[in-house]
Each structure stands twice: as C-alpha cells, then as structure tokens.
C-alpha cells in the first residue's frame, strides 16, 4: 500500500511539485466552477480557456517556455476576448453565447498558428495540454498567488456572488455591486484558467474547474457545501490522476481530468440528487415525466 499510494510522492520531487500545484488549483478553481455552473455559464469557462491561448502563444513566440511572459499574455488575451464578446452582444443583435463561441474559435486557431510559427509539435502539446509533472518553483508561486487572491475575493464578495447567481437584476437594482462583482468574477475565471494552464494546458484547465463542481451538484443543494465538496472531489481527482499517471505511464493532465470525469459519472448515478436515488424518492415524478 505504501509503494502504491505514498512512495511516489515521497521519493520524487517532481511528483511533490505536481501534487502541490494541483491541490492549490483545486482549492481555488473548484469553487469558481461552482459559481460558473450556478450562473449557467459552464461553457463560458470552456470558451475562456481557449481564449487565453493566443496570448500564451505570443509569450512563447517571444520568450520561449517562460512562465511570466506566457502568463501575462494569457491574461491579456482572456480579458480582450471577454470584453470583445461582451461588446458584440451588447451593441449588436448577436447573443453572448454566439459571440463568445466566435471569439474562442478565432483565438484557438490563432494560438495554434502562433505556436506553430516557432515551436515543434512537442511545444504545441505543452501549451495545449500542459505538463503538471514539470511544474517548477516559479509556477507553484504563481498558482499559490492565484489561489490566495481567489479565496480572498470569494470570502469578501461571497454574499454578492450568491445574490447575483439567484437574481442578478435584483442585485443591480438594490446595490451598486452588481456590475463590479460580475466583472470581478469573470476576472477570477480568467485568472484561474491561466493558473490551470501552467499545469493542465489551455484545453484541459477548465476540466478541473467544472467537473468537480458538476459532480458536487448531485450531492447537495447548499452553495457552501457544494464548494467544499467540489474542492474535495478536485483533490481526490488530482491524487488518483497523478498516481494513475505514475503507475500506468499515462499523461498526467488527462489522467487527472479523467479521474474527475469518473467521479462525475458516479455522482450522476449514485449521488443523493442523482438518477437512482432521485427516482427512488420521487417515483411518480419520473412516471409522469
């Protein structure tokens, strides 16, 4: 049991850094994912994950695989896409989901093109899918800083965030916090996707944000409990994914996301609000549906 579960994290420094980085990501990204889900903005998170790619790719083109330029580039690109999609939906007839889809598709293609100008297929895979086993001290410092900022912001604006999930129009009518909190939340989404990009790449970073949150929804209806459970699921997924990657010689990022996906599928079936128990508790509802 020791060799199976503990030895990899005791004997190898790269496994320790990978574990620390993924646990820090779980602490911050999973609660953000809960609020994304409650706002019915889950696919927006996926779009924003693609949106950071051209900025990160531009940083790579100019400075190589250095964390600071790629992070700054990703943040700038994410903000530009968020503002651009919002402006199109505000000043034209197009809805926000369509404008966001258009912007993220353009961003994805542009980012792949930029990486291809200088890098190899290996560099492209690194940008798209990350290398959690190659996290260094600078990446861990960045992820830790993002986690602290995220948790502090959630604690300070907790009630306003919940109010905006339930009734954003009411919040804006009774408080001036409505619009600032909305943009603050979008900033937290971009920030955590940039942090996740360092470990899981642009295509998979949203997985650790959304899958634990979606799984937690099948177990509880309380927001605070949902956030706590999502973090726990994220931590378990990271542990199991890293161990699976180590023992089976599989890619670490996809192993983490597939572990979270397995928890999600089990939750849909066996959660207290999942398919089986909900059918047992409310049989007439399912018969008449």
pLDDT, one tens digit per residue, over 46-79 is 778 878 888 888 888 888 777 788 888 888 888 8
For position 131, what pLDDT does the model report? 77
Give the confidence band of 288 by pLDDT, cuts at 50, 70, 90: very low
Average pLDDT over residues 208-224: 93
The CATH number given to whatever domain includes residue 169 is: 1.10.3470.10
Domain assignment present for residue 1? The answer is no
C-alpha closest to that of 21 among 191, 135, 138, 192 = 135
Domain assignment present for residue 277? The answer is yes
Residue percentage of the chain with pLDDT more than 90? 31
pTM score, whole prediction: 0.85
Q: How far apart are CA 111 and CA 55, in angstroms?
A: 7
For position 289, what pLDDT does the model report? 44
Give 167: exposed, middle or buried? Use CB within 10 Å, 0-12, 13-18, 19+.
exposed
CA angle 261, 205, 75 (to 5 degrees): 160
Domain assignment present for residue 5? The answer is no
User: Structural domain of residue 61, as residue ranges?
Assistant: 16-288
Domain assignment present for residue 3? The answer is no
């Amino acid at each position: 049991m020791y060799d199976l579960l503990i030895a990899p994290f005791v004997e190898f420094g790269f496994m320790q850094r990978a574990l620390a980085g993924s646990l820090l990501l779980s602490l911050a990204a999973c609660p953000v994912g809960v609020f994304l889900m409650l706002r019915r903005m889950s696919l927006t998170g996926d779009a924003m994950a693609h949106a950071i790619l051209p900025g990160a790719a531009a940083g790579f083109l100019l400075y190589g695989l250095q964390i600071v330029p790629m992070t700054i580039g990703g943040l700038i690109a994410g903000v530009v896409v968020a503002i651009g999609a919002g402006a199109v939906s505000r000043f034209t007839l197009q809805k926000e989901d369509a404008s966001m889809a258009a912007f993220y598709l353009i961003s994805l293609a542009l980012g792949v093109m930029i990486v291809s100008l200088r890098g190899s297929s290996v560099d492209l895979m690194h940008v798209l899918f990350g290398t959690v086993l190659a996290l260094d001290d600078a990446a861990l410092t960045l992820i830790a800083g993002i986690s602290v900022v995220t948790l502090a912001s959630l604690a300070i604006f907790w009630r306003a965030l919940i109010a905006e999930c339930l009734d954003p129009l009411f919040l804006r009518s009774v408080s001036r916090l409505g619009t600032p909190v909305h943009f603050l939340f979008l900033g937290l989404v971009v920030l955590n996707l940039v942090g996740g990009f360092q470990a899981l790449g642009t295509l998979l970073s949203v997985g650790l944000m959304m899958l634990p949150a979606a799984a937690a929804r099948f177990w509880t209806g309380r927001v605070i409990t949902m956030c706590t459970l999502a973090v726990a699921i994220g931590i378990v997924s990271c542990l199991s994914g890293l161990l699976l990657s180590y023992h089976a010689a599989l890619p670490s990022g996809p192993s983490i996301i597939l572990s979270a996906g397995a928890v999600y599928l089990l939750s849909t079936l066996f959660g207290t609000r999942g398919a089986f128990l909900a059918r047992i508790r409310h049989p007439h509802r399912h018969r008449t549906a």
